[in-house]
């Protein structure tokens, strides 16, 4: 209702993360769970809560944003778990329209919508940091996240195991879908996303030019990065990133260009254990100390100092491996 207040659990005074799971707002599938639609600013804060069972239906805009609905407002959302919400149209977990929110330390899991299963951003300049988007689904585009004319900055993010079923309009983007935007991704891991359309990892559409720095795009199905065939002005800028298939593996469909910068590699990132959902880098990962220092966040997704050790280059991906790589030479006894 336009009030710049903080709504939160005892986490905000104690720092005890157990309160995040213990303090639940259950929408009972009757409406949006939380609404920001009266011009709230960054002074309006939601923190230390679990948001579940929202269901956005009805006529526009009521059918957007199952968990959190935000329009013409730019609140601060921190230390949240948004799970098990649904929207009949866009933004199963969170929906933003003409907003520039601050989103930090937020887990968005197992939400569903027609588009933007995890989150949908329409216009604005959102800032996302330390975010996990996993196991969400969409019937058309953007199983994990959809950006529509929203120039986001995303740092330290894990986008994994999201699905875009693509049942009607031929979109795709299992992990990420871009339309008319120029977002920047720094130290992001995009792995294991799926679509029955195109662009299991990234689907780049109309006049979009995402920039990837220190980012892993690996093991997505069917393509890692795909350019839409119907719209002009598409491009992608990549540097110091691990892209499966390399530059040649990017499906441009005659669109483009691809700005293939310095420091890119095409080799298995060697996660600790994908089968257990562990996307930390193993000690022998080629992504360790292979990133770009300029512009990298000072900590990783879990708050570990980046780079580690100090003075080295940061790792590629959402997680920093605190153990420097060592090469052991065989000792030959004569």
- Taking CA 196 as the corner, what is the angle to CA 192 and CA 199, rounded to the nearest 5 degrees? 60
Among residues 122, 138, 155, which one ends one of the domains? 122
Rounded to two decimals, the pTM is 0.94
pLDDT tier, 36 (very low <50, low <70, confident <90, very high otherwise)? very high
**pLDDT score recorded for residue 322:** 87
Among residues 70, 95, 122, which one ends one of the domains? 122
144 and 248 housed in the same domain:
yes
Reported as a single tens digit per residue, the pLDDT across 120-175 is 999 999 999 999 999 999 999 999 999 999 999 999 999 999 999 975 556 799 99
Domain count, the chain: 2
Looking at the chain, the whole-number percentage of residues with pLDDT higher than 70 is 96
Looking at per-residue pLDDT, the higher value among 166 and 192 belongs to 192
Reported as a single tens digit per residue, the pLDDT across 180-190 is 999 999 999 99
Among residues 64, 95, 122, which one ends one of the domains? 122
Alpha carbon distance 130, 187 (integer Å): 10
pLDDT tier, 324 (very low <50, low <70, confident <90, very high otherwise)? low
- Judged by average pLDDT, the poorest of 161-170, 229-238, 248-257 is 161-170
Taking the CB of residue 23, how many other CB atoms lie within 10 A of it? 14
Pairing type for strands 55-56 and 86-90 reads: parallel
Q: Is the pLDDT of residue 329 over 70?
A: no
Q: Which token pair is 27?
A: 């929408």
194 and 247 housed in the same domain:
yes
Alpha carbon distance 316, 262 (integer Å): 13
**pLDDT score recorded for residue 229:** 86
State the chain's maximal CA–CA distance in angstroms: 82
Q: Containing domain of residue 308, as a range?
A: 125-319
Reported as a single tens digit per residue, the pLDDT across 82-101 is 999 999 999 999 999 999 99
**pLDDT score recorded for residue 170:** 60
Q: Is residue 329 part of a domain?
A: no
208 and 252 housed in the same domain:
yes
167 and 305 housed in the same domain:
yes
Q: Is residue 13 part of a domain?
A: yes
Residue from 239, 132, 120 nearest 178 by CA: 120
Reported as a single tens digit per residue, the pLDDT across 67-87 is 999 999 999 999 999 999 999
């Amino acid at each position: 209702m336009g009030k710049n207040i903080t709504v939160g659990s005892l986490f905000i005074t104690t720092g005890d993360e157990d309160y995040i799971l213990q303090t639940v707002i259950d929408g009972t599938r009757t409406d949006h769970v939380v609404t920001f639609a009266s011009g709230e600013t960054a002074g309006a804060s939601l923190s230390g809560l679990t948001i579940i069972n929202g269901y956005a239906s009805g006529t526009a805009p009521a059918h957007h944003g199952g968990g959190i609905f935000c329009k013409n407002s730019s609140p601060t959302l921190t230390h949240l778990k948004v799970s098990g919400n649904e929207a009949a149209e866009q933004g199963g977990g969170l929906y933003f329209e003409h907003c520039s929110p601050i989103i930090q330390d937020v887990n968005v899991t197992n939400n569903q919508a027609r588009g933007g299963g995890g989150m949908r951003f329409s216009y604005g300049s959102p800032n996302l940091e330390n975010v996990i988007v996993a196991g969400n689904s969409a019937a058309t585009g953007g199983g994990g996240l959809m950006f529509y004319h929203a120039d986001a900055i995303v740092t330290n993010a894990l986008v994994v195991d999201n699905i875009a079923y693509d049942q009607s309009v031929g979109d795709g983007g299992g992990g990420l879908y871009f339309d008319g935007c120029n977002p920047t991704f720094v130290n992001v891991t995009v792995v294991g996303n799926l679509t029955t359309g195109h662009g299991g990892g990234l689907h780049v559409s109309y006049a979009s030019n995402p920039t990837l720095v220190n980012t892993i795009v690996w093991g997505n199905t069917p393509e890692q990065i795909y350019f839409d065939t119907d719209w002009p002005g598409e491009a992608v800028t990549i540097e110091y990133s691990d892209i499966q298939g390399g530059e040649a593996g990017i499906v441009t469909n005659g669109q483009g260009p691809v700005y293939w910068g310095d420091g890119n590699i095409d080799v298995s990132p060697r996660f600790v254990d994908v089968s257990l959902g562990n996307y930390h880098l193993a000690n022998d990962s080629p992504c360790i100390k292979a990133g770009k220092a300029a512009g990298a966040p000072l900590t990783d997704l879990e708050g570990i100092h980046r780079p580690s050790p100090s003075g080295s280059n940061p790792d590629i991906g959402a997680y920093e491996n605190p153990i420097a790589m060592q090469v052991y030479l065989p000792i030959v006894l004569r």
